[in-house]
Each structure stands twice: as C-alpha cells, then as structure tokens.
Amino acid sequence: MSSIAELFFNNQAWAQDLSARDPKFFEQLAVQQRPEYLWIGCADSRVPAEELVGLAPGEVFVHRNVANVVVHTDFNSLSVMQFAVDVLKVKHIIVCGHYGCGGVHATLRGDRVGLADNWLRHVDDVLQKHSTFLDSWTDESTRFNHLCELNVIEQVANVCKTTVVRDAWERGQELSVHGWIYGMRDGLLRDLHTSAHSHESAKSSYANAVSSLPE
C-alpha cells in the first residue's frame, strides 16, 4: 500500500471507530461546532494540538504557523481569532509554544532559512527586546529555552492587544488568554503564568511572567 493510500485506509478505520462508539458523532458535528478553546500553536508536526490535550474533533479551534507568532497585521490569525471569539464564543485562547522550536532556534543563531526569515523577524523582535536577559546566559541551550518561553509570553501580550480581544473584554465577554509551552522530550505542557482575563490583568500577568523567569 502506498503511503497516501494508507492515509485513506487509516481515515476509514478512524471514522468507523468513532461512529461505533457514538453513532451520531459526525451527524451532530456536521451541524454545529462549539469549541471552548482557540489554540494558537507552532506548525511543528511534533506538537499535535488536539491530541496532546486529549480533545476530540469539535472541541478546539486551531491556528498554527511557524513559531506560533501573533502579528498585529496578520489577517490570517486575526480572522481566526475574530471568528473564534465573536461567533464561536470560545472562553479560552491558548498560545502554545514548544521547546526545541526550529524557528526560534534559527532566529537565535541568526541562520538564513529562506522566505521564512522575514516571518521570523517577529521572533527576532522578541530576541532584541529581551537581549539583556538572554545575554546573561552563557549556555546556548538555556538561552534557547528562554527565548522559546519569552516568544510565547510576547505573543500572549499581542493577542491581548488585538481589537478582537479588547472589544470582547469591553463588552464583558468571558474570555481568558493563556501562555503555555510544550516539552517534546516528556510530552508535558507547562503554564508560563501569563494568563489574562482583562486589560488590567494582561499588563500585570505580562510583567509577572517576564520577571519570574529564572535569573
């Protein structure tokens, strides 16, 4: 069986298995989705959003890009966020980075990777902003880990500053934004303690999260 044919074979087995457990599963899902979570993560194949938090189809709205970056003028991520918040009324937005991120590593080393260099300039902005803290570490792997963490913390702050999230908070909609990081070596998530549920808490959580990284 070719590798592509295998994917169709796997798909049939997966659909049959879900239908056997819940005969109305696909019928109900086809009519409506009601996810409580929006996941903004890295495109890395080793960080499967739904799978690592044990959620089923219909339970998490997902946006992934290289190095889980949230750019103020990126209509792709902004449109995802607007639909998730305004229409689906998700209660949580999770920005999830991961240790060992190739995009973050290329930025840290100043490697040229091609077109993506332009995209990764946003991670370079994070690097420049926290250069004093990052330069205080002589060990490259520690610097790398901290840049992965800081990139998540900065992207959470970017999410909180979007008109989508600010408007939701202003009209009193229940919405929290979180920053997590995933460890590929142990499969575990870590909370970076940068959660925000209002404009004020976003500012204090950001300051706390940045200052609570080990000196």
As annotated, the active-site residues are 42, 44, 46, 98, 101
Q: Return the closest-CA partner of residue 198 out of 171, 90, 46, 117.
A: 171
Cβ closest to Co ion, residue 42 vs residue 196: 42
Cβ closest to Co ion, residue 18 vs residue 189: 189
Cβ closest to Co ion, residue 155 vs residue 205: 155
Q: Virtual CA dihedral for 57, 167, 82, 125, nearest 10 degrees? A: -100
Positive or negative: CA dihedral 63, 76, 118, 115: positive
Helix axes 140-161, 102-109, angle to 10 degrees: 110
Binding residues (CB under 5 A) for Co ion: these are 42, 44, 101
CB of 46 vs Co ion, minimal distance in Å = 8
What are residue 96's DSSP bridge partners?
41, 180
CB of 82 vs Co ion, minimal distance in Å = 24
Say how far apart CA 211 and CA 215 lie, in whole Å: 8
SS3 assignment, position 52: helix
CB of 144 vs Co ion, minimal distance in Å = 12
CB of 44 vs Co ion, minimal distance in Å = 4
Per-position DSSP letters for 190-201, written without gaps between them: EE-S--BSSHHH
Cβ closest to Co ion, residue 17 vs residue 186: 186
CB of 188 vs Co ion, minimal distance in Å = 16
Pairing of strands 188-191, 176-183: antiparallel
Cα 35–chain centre separation: 16
Per-position DSSP letters for 85-136, written without gaps between them: IIIS--SEEEEEEETT-HHHHHHHHT---STHHHHHHHHHHHHHHTHHHHHT
Cβ closest to Co ion, residue 66 vs residue 84: 66
